[in-house]
Amino acid sequence: MVANGDMASGHGGCGRHQCCTVERWLRCLLGVQLLFALLCAAPSVIAADAVDVTAVVGFSDTFQLGRWTPLNVTVTNHRSDLSGELEVQVTGGDELRGRLFVTSHRRKLELHRDSRKSLQFTVFPQELSHPLVIRVHSSGQEVARTQVDMRTRFAAERLLLVLSRDADLDYLNEGGADGLRVLYPHPELLPVHWRGYDAVAAVVVHGVSLERLSTSQFEALHKWIAQGGILAVSGGPNYALLRSPRLAALLPSQPLGMTRIDGDALQSAFSTTLDVSRPVHVNRLGALRGRALLHAGAVPLIVERTLGYGRVVYLTFDVTSYPFDRWDGMRELWLNSLRLPPPTTDALSGPEAEIESPLPALVQAESADFPSIAAVLFFLILYLGLLLAGYQLPVHGKRSRWLTPLWSWAAPVLFAPAAWLLFGPSVFPRGATAVAMAVIEPLPGSIYARLALDLGVYANRSGALRLEYRGAEPVLSPPRQAQIDGDAGDWVFGEGARRFLEPMDQRRYVLHALQGEDVIVFQVEASVHRGTTGPRLVLDNASGRILEDVWLVFDGYAYELGSIPGAGRFERTLSRRAHGVEVGEASWRRVLKLTPGIPDLMSAPTRIVLERRARAASESGYPGPGHALLIGYTANPLRPAGASAAWPRRERALVAFEVAALQGEAAAGESATGVLARGDGILGRTDTPRVRDSAARAAAEQDE
Amino acid sequence: MRSNPLVKEALVGLTAGGKAQLDYLGLLLLQAVVLLVWWPKSGVTQALASQHGPNTLVAVVMAVGVSTAYVALRAGAEEFVLPGQHGLRDWALATPLALGRVVRGYLLGQFVHSLHLLALSAPLVLVAFTVSGGEWVALGWCVAALLVQALFYRLCGALTHLSIGQHHGETLFTVRTILLVIYVPVGVLAPVTSHPAFTYRALSEHLAAQPALLGVPDRVVFLTIYAALSVLAALAVYCLLVRERRVTTDRHDGARVGEGVTS
């Protein structure tokens, strides 16, 4: 028993030992399983928090549908150094019209561990049902993704941006499509491209320096004003801000100090409803580059200047201080001062007439065509004839026997590369071609010009078609007609070392077209004086680009002017009889041609863009009444670069400058250096004399 | 490769003039007509407007494919032989060469012959290539497919010859029927086995629009099918040759095998 008991105890010990072993094994197994689960879960947990993406659409997260808008994306990297790409996908098009299309904006992204970077895109949101998709890729993998719901962020009203720390202009808010939505964006989040202001009716600056903006932000603001934007600046005791270089370059006058105005003078200037019990201090101004809209005695209260098609309004008093902070008439005063133009239609609205693209005409005019069938026939006859002769001709004698194998193989071996060279690289090279039709419209009284682009790429082989370019930074979108027809394709637009665009459709023999807009530096000033026998033209070309085949269309006549050098002044008195060709209101566009002897085909793209422009200005006419139009050709500002620099190009850049005609002969010596105004533009070049817009000058003279 | 007498014979035969070359010249003429018919008549602008490039290369490569298949079939059936070239049966029965070597030489000789035909068609293909915008890689795949297909047809022709070669009329009919049947009904019912369909998928612009169709598996399937069929056909040819040699050996006690060649 004892033995048994011992045995039993021995068995018991053995059993316990086995139990311990099993238990140990189970624990080990559990540990391994836990470790395995951790290893599996860890990457996803780490990845989930590794890269954060946040986005602000438009201004203060508010945008208008169908308008270009800025998109600020902030990427925070919590993991190891990140080198990849940030992509924003915007869905456009109309599901009812046809297929939707996706536009991808891509930027290179390099972020160190625990660092953050903000990048701004200019996007064109067209519909609310699809969110904006923002993705971060690295090494071919998606490391972060976020979607921005557009439905909660859009506004129907035009936007009024107030750059201020403490101003409250909420009384300007008004609902409806014609109304206004007042927003107070952070100056650092203002657009870096002028098109980002598409939905903005006006910008108000109060107590904030524009020196806080980056160079590209200030340039964008300046360009936006030049092509029709309105900037309003409120004065006040802190007028030193207004003397900072950027604001000084834009304002119609510089504040020199403060001056006191008594209540009665203010009431007579504004309204008797303005409650003024004590004198008010306003900015005292120096030389005026514009006109005074309102003044109290000799003291200007609201002054204005034009910049291109836009205006800068300077209110010499503090709009948020006594007595204006409590005045009910402020809303009306603002609206009267800003004189906001009626809202324009967005890109896809408006008449649905067929919009012809100049690109096919340009391809037809300048493209290398397929080798002719006659050349192919000749080649085939030669080749087959030689083969036949080789097989038919008997080879006599042992000495000539070596010719037989040579004959059999030499003909194809020689003709194959010959076929490739003759019909390939020499006549019809394989590869991609860039097609661009640019219309440059100088903005009067500005160093800038509006650039409208029709851009296309096609290839005679399949594959990726990435066009790298430089010289202009247009916002690009599929052509309006393609969007109306519902056959707009998907595109990628990228920025990095070079800007690029790439259609997602890689088929050959498909012309992938885009439309673009930009404002570029292109300084041309002109004045046309109506004379008894004909006009007198004074043109100051400071663009640095030669204008070729220039025509002047004025008063029912077209005048051929030839070439104008890239720098300098051009003056000519034209006679209707000697130089003019009588033309109709629309037929003048057919008169223009490049050079005598060049077929009509060559001028077709020009005609198309001019007719399109005339259709856009249907009511006012093109050129409008009392206006002259200068037409010429110059170098295309947008040029293929980098890997695309060697692409064949079919391009044309048309300069179309509409100038208000002045009555009477030009005074002696009055020309481009006539009435001078300080520059509107490039800082550091503010001493460059500029000719003021004739309309502004007339207005100024009227005021005087 | 050149140590194989069948290959040597094919190389010598290809460099001499003769009916075979003239026959292929006729087919080259046909390819030239195809090239001219499919040559783009309108300009680049019209091609861009219609969003369709010329299909010249597709048409020419298809024509070259049919031509080489037809020539291979006829050569296999020994409707013609190159100058100085002997038939397969002669090599098997009248020489002491191992049958494996004979079949290997026969296949290599066919490969050399197809290469020569391709070289003759190359200028036409390249002229078409310049305007059609195909890719070199895709063209390479088509050429590979064409060679494998030609090998299969050559062996089909050889099988026909070894089976019913003594009946000239039937051979003629069978050879053409094989070409027609495999090209038309089989090609329609199983497009993956069709060289025209393969060429269209690889070279037409359809490929870029639907990249999935362009996948390598699609190409590999075609090559695998024809390579497998060629292996089976080569085995069948080998078996037929073994049987014929055995019958002949039995008949002559094997004493005089090889006399024809050695004499």
- Using CB atoms, pick whichever of B123, B208, B209 lies closest to residue A412: B123
Compute the C-alpha angle A220/A221/A224, nearest 5°: 85
Which of A 385-444 lie inside 8 A of B, CB atoms?
387-388, 390-392, 404-405, 408-409, 411-413, 415-416, 418-420, 423-424, 427-428, 430
* Sheet with A299-307: strands ordered across: A180-183, A158-164, A200-206, A230-234, A310-315, A299-307, A291-296
Residues forming beta bridges with residue A437, ordered by sequence position: A454, A652
Residue scoring higher pLDDT (B53 or A596): B53
The residue ranges of every structural domain in chain B are 5-262
Residues written for chain A:
704
Tokens of A659: 């100038």
Per-residue 3-state assignment (H helix, E strand, C coil) for A628-687: EEEEEEECCCCEECHHHCCCCEEEEEEEEEEEEEEECCCCCCCCCCCCEECCCCCCCCCC
In this prediction, residue A397 carries a pLDDT of 55
CB contact (8 A) between residue B36 and residue A380: yes
Helix (H, G, I), strand (E, B) or coil at B54: coil
Helix (H, G, I), strand (E, B) or coil at A111: strand
- B-chain residues within 8 Å CB-CB of A372? none
Give me the DSSP letters along A454-469: EEEEEESS-S---EEE
For residues B78, B83, B88, B92, the Cα torsion angle rounded to the nearest 10 degrees is 150
Tokens of A128: 């609310």
- Determine what percent of chain B is predicted with pLDDT higher than 70: 89
Distance CA A87, CA A100 (A): 18
**Cis status of the peptide bond prior to A623, with omega within 30 of 0:** yes
From B183's Cα to the closest Cα of chain A, the distance in A is: 27
Distance CA A651, CA A606 (A): 11
Q: Quick check: ipTM above 0.90?
A: no
Residue-wise pLDDT for B165-214, tens only, equals 788 888 888 888 888 888 888 888 888 889 999 999 888 875 544 444 44
In this prediction, residue A537 carries a pLDDT of 92
Which of A 300-329 lie inside 8 A of B, CB atoms?
none
B2 DSSP assignment: T
Distance CA B233, CA B181 (A): 17
* Alpha helix (H) residue ranges in chain B: 5-14, 19-38, 44-50, 56-76, 88-94, 99-132, 136-164, 168-181, 187-189, 195-203, 206-209, 216-252, 259-262
Distance CA B159, CA B153 (A): 10
Residues forming beta bridges with residue A52, ordered by sequence position: A76
Distance CA A203, CA A28 (A): 69
Q: Which residues of A497-515 are buried (b: 16+ CB within 10 A; e: fewer)?
A: ebbbbbbeebbbbbbbbbb
A103 DSSP assignment: E
- Domain A158-338: which CATH number of 3.40.50.880, 1.10.357.10, 3.30.565.10, 3.40.20.10: 3.40.50.880
Cα B55 from chain centre: 23
Query: What is the block-wise mean pLDDT of chain A (704 residues), using blocks of 10 residues?
Result: 38 52 72 68 56 93 92 91 93 78 94 92 90 92 92 90 92 83 92 95 94 94 94 92 92 93 88 85 91 90 92 94 88 92 67 75 82 94 87 61 68 90 87 93 90 93 90 91 85 90 91 94 91 90 90 88 88 87 72 57 80 78 86 92 91 91 58 36 34 36 37
Compute the C-alpha angle B72/B77/B79, nearest 5°: 90
In this prediction, residue A178 carries a pLDDT of 75
CB contact (8 A) between residue A376 and residue B129: no
Distance CA A240, CA A519 (A): 30
Distances from the Cα of A142 to the Cαs of A50, A55, A135, A500, B151, in angstroms?
12, 17, 7, 22, 47
Question: Which residue has 């000539």 as its token pair?
Answer: A400
Tell me the angle at which helices B168-181 and B136-164 cross, rounded to the nearest 10 degrees.
150
> Hey, is the C-beta of A604 within 8 angstroms of any chain B C-beta?
no
Among candidate residues A356, A390, A410, A195, the one with its CA nearest the CA of residue B18: A390
**B137-141 mean pLDDT:** 91
Distances from the Cα of A286 to the Cαs of A237, A256, A299, A301, B176, in angstroms?
16, 6, 11, 13, 100
- B-chain residues within 8 Å CB-CB of A411? 120
The pTM assigned to this predicted structure is 0.80
CB contact (8 A) between residue A460 and residue B123: no
- Would you tell me how many other CB atoms lie within 10 Å of the CB of residue A415? 25
CATH assignment of A52-148?
2.60.40.10
* Alpha helix (H) residue ranges in A367-520: 373-392, 403-423, 480-485
In this prediction, residue B94 carries a pLDDT of 81
